[in-house]
Amino acid sequence: MPESKSRKKAAAVPAEAPAKGKAAPKPNPVWYKPVMFGLMLIGLIWIIVFYISEGVYPVPALGAGNILVGFGVAIVGFLMTTRWR
């Protein structure tokens, strides 16, 4: 019975470097962290001042809306944490 010819193995192809899809994210500017923490503190202080002054400060015309303003400012600070690197 005739013997089959042996197959030659293909030359090993070196693996290419992984494709560069997205570049590494840039670090935040220097001002980002102080603004982020500052907004969170300002929102907290706004709410504390409203409760301690029994609605006289910070803006008497807003009444209970001062709570919304305080939380709004603080939430903007917390949303900034999602972009912090």
* 14 — pLDDT class (breaks 50, 70, 90): low
Quick: pLDDT tens for 24-83.
Answer: 888 999 999 999 999 999 999 999 999 999 988 999 999 999 999 999 999 999 999 999
To the nearest 10 degrees (0 to 180), the angle between helices 32-52 and 65-80 is: 160
CA distance 49 to 41: 12
Could you tell me the residue ranges of all domains in the chain? Answer: 32-83
Per-residue pLDDT band for 15 (boundaries 50, 70, 90) equals: low
Extract the tokens encoding 15.
């693996």
